Copies of this chain bind each other. A is one copy, B any other.
Amino acid sequence: MLSDEDLHHLRRAVELGRRGLGDVSPNPPVGAVLVRNGNVVGEGWHRGAGLAHAEVEALAAAGDAARGATAYVSLEPCNHVGRTGPCTAALAEAGVARVVFGASDPNAEAAGGASALRAMGIEAVDAGLAEARRLIEAFEIALDADRPYLALKMAASVNGAIAARGGERRWLTGEAARALVRGLRIEHDAVMVGAGTVRVDDPQLTVRPPHARRVPYRRVVICERDPIPAASRVLDRADGVETVIVAPRTRAALFRELEGRASIVYAPDRDGQLDLRAALRELKTMGIRSALCEGGPTLAARLLAHGLVDRIHWLVAPAMIAGSAAVPSVAGVEEVDLSGWRFDEVRRVGDDVYLSGRIR
């Protein structure tokens, strides 16, 4: 059974694991804490593919103090030899007496850690901690899907409008909400918008202030039919961030002008309208395992309508935007079925409110 102390240390392991977000793709983020006689003797987290696993980092920090300790790991210790040795063996060698992990390993290739530990006489407890599962949500989905894990971020007034058309350009949400969005961008391999948003808002889609990621952060523009203007700021390479444009194959001629300015990926279309599922497949092929879609309303709605969104991050601003100039947050589709959607996170972020939930 798990004590409050167990939960405390396991949560700390999850917190440490979060530090690897943005750096560890295509690996899962993992954190580990070693505790002996109630004292934390080692901590670690996975810092990037090819680097030490979290358990190994924590063991190195603990040294001899690991003997007889309990290891708290956000994810079931791996049991395979990848770019590094199996963590189960490392834990056993160091004399760890007990392992408590937050989530079982969804990766068939690496799984079996708990059984391996038990076979070596080490107690292994699967805590089934929601936060630990949440930490590897993107990893787990990208593992099996033929597309990246896709999160949709929207910031809207209580009545669901994202801006006033033709209105003065201003932020709807406050500074704290924008900091949260910056954090979301860092966590995902790419940030994605539709061509309409580029035409209307001309965003840079960079992370400001900049944040170094071991896995380069990419900007993706989904052009469902037509190219974006060559002068768009998202095509500016000054900050060294790559831009990927996904375009309908039968309309390739229209996109020639943008070649050399960005990586153009041509995906199948139907009568000149991009096949979104195929477009996402292309992105995964390029190594993009998670993407944050930040709109606009049409791309968001179409991704939702096609069932291609895994999580929604919704920011509600204490505002109301009325009238014919109000831009709706989702538009252009006749139906979006989110039945079964639940908010699993609700909190105030400055003056705004952040709602988030996994879809299906």
Interface segment, A101-109, A135-143, A312-320?
A312-320
> Contacts of A250 on B, CB cut-off 8 Å?
none
Q: Which of A32-69 contact B (CB under 8 A)?
A: none
Interface string of A305-317 (1 = CB under 8 A from B): 1000000101010
* Bound-complex Cα distance A156 to B323 (A): 18
Nearest to A324 among chain B residues (CB) is B334
Chain A residues 334-356 with CB under 8 Å of chain B are 334-336, 338, 341-343, 346-348, 351, 353, 355
- Name the segment of A78-86, A235-243, A274-282, A325-333 touching the other chain: A325-333
**Docked-complex contact A304 and B333, CB < 8 angstroms:** no
A266 to B335 Cα, complex, angstroms: 43
Name the one of B161, B323, B355 contacting A353, with C-beta atoms under 8 angstroms: B355
- Given contact pairs A314-B158, A329-B160, A320 touches B336 in the complex (Cβ within 8 A): yes
A305: chain B residues within 8 A (beta carbon)? 322
Cross-chain contact of A355 among B154, B161, B316, B329 (Cβ < 8 A): B316
A322 near B330: Cβ-Cβ < 8 Å: yes
A323 touching B333, Cβ below 8 Å: yes
Number of interface residues of A (CB under 8 A): 40
| Given A341-B318, A353-B343; A161-B158 close (CB under 8 Å) | no
Cα–Cα distance between A301 and B346 once the two chains are bound (Å)? 27
CB distance from A120 to the nearest CB of B (A): 44
Q: Which of B321, B324, B355 contacts A158 (CB 8 A)?
A: B355
Q: B residues within 8 A CB of A346?
A: 346-348, 353
Is residue A70 contacting chain B, with contact meaning CB distance below 8 A? no
Do A318 and B342 touch (CB < 8 A)? yes
Instruction: Decide yes or no: A338 and B323 within 8 Å by CB, A160-B161, A328-B159 being known contacts.
Output: no
A314 vs chain B, min Cβ distance (A): 5
In the bound complex, CA of A340 to CA of B343 (Å): 27
Across-interface contacts of A74 in B (CB, < 8 A): none
Asked if A157 is at the interface of the complex by the 8 Å CB criterion, the answer is yes
Q: Give Cα distance in the complex from A331 to B159, angstroms.
A: 10
| Bound complex: CA A341 to CA B351 (Å) | 9
- Whether a CB of chain B sits under 8 angstroms from the CB of A357 is yes
- Which of B159, B333, B338, B351 contacts A160 (CB under 8 A)? B159
CA distance A304 to B154 in the complex (A): 25
- 27 A-B residue contacts at CB 8 Å? A156-B159, A158-B312, A158-B329, A159-B160, A159-B328, A160-B160, A160-B161, A160-B328, A304-B320, A318-B338, A318-B341, A319-B338, A320-B330, A320-B338, A321-B336, A322-B330, A322-B331, A322-B334, A322-B336, A323-B333, A323-B334, A323-B335, A325-B334, A342-B351, A346-B347, A346-B348, A353-B353
